Structure 1
Amino acid sequence: MQSNQANDQWFQSAAARDIHLDQLKRVERFNGRAAMLGIVIGIITEGLTGAGIAHQIGLGALVDGYAACRTQFLPFCF
């Protein structure tokens, strides 16, 4: 009886692990597709408006600050 319960427990944990891995694969596939779609939309918008992806999401000041730092227009670099 003890062996049968241990066997059942092993099968249940193996099945739960397989279900979890299947769900993880589906979620990661969805995230990858959403990221690819976001990049494509960002590139198309950049082509239409001339504003880069960083400027589109509100991080343009950081990019501009880095460019100014690289060209030594700022007295300090971060």
Structure 2
Amino acid sequence: MTNTPSNDQTLDTSAEQVTLMDQLKQVELFNGRAAMLGIVIGIVVEGLTGVGIAHQIGLGALVDGYAACRTQFLPFCF
């Protein structure tokens, strides 16, 4: 007696893999769309308020260079 899976088990496993791949495609599609929407919203807010995206999410001090030089996050200063 061999330990090879029967045809039913092989078909079941391949059907599960197809289902998982379809779910992964849907999740990645949603993730990409959410990221694009976030960037567009950030750009619109930047256009309306003049505050950059980095400042909107709290990383403005690093972009400005002051905090980067003061806390030595970067090997150079602006």
If the length of structure 1 is used for normalisation, what is the TM-score? 0.78
Is 1:37 aligned with 2:3?
no
Distance in 2 between the 1:30 and 1:77 partners? 34
List, as ranges, runs of 4+ consecutive aligned residues in structure 1 with deviation greater than 4 Å. none
Q: Deviation of residue 43 (structure 1)?
A: 0.3
* Count of residue pairs the alignment pairs up: 69
RMSD of aligned residue pairs (Cα, Å): 2.1
Distance in 1 between the 2:10 and 2:46 partners? 53
Matched residue type, 1:38: G
If the length of structure 2 is used for normalisation, what is the TM-score? 0.78
Q: Which runs of 5+ in 1 are unaligned?
A: none
Q: Higher helix proportion, which one?
A: 1
Q: Which runs of 5+ in 2 are unaligned?
A: none
Distance in 1 between the 2:6 and 2:64 partners? 62
- SS of residue in 2 equivalent to 1:58: coil
Distance in 2 between the 1:77 and 1:10 partners? 53
| Seq. identity, % | 67
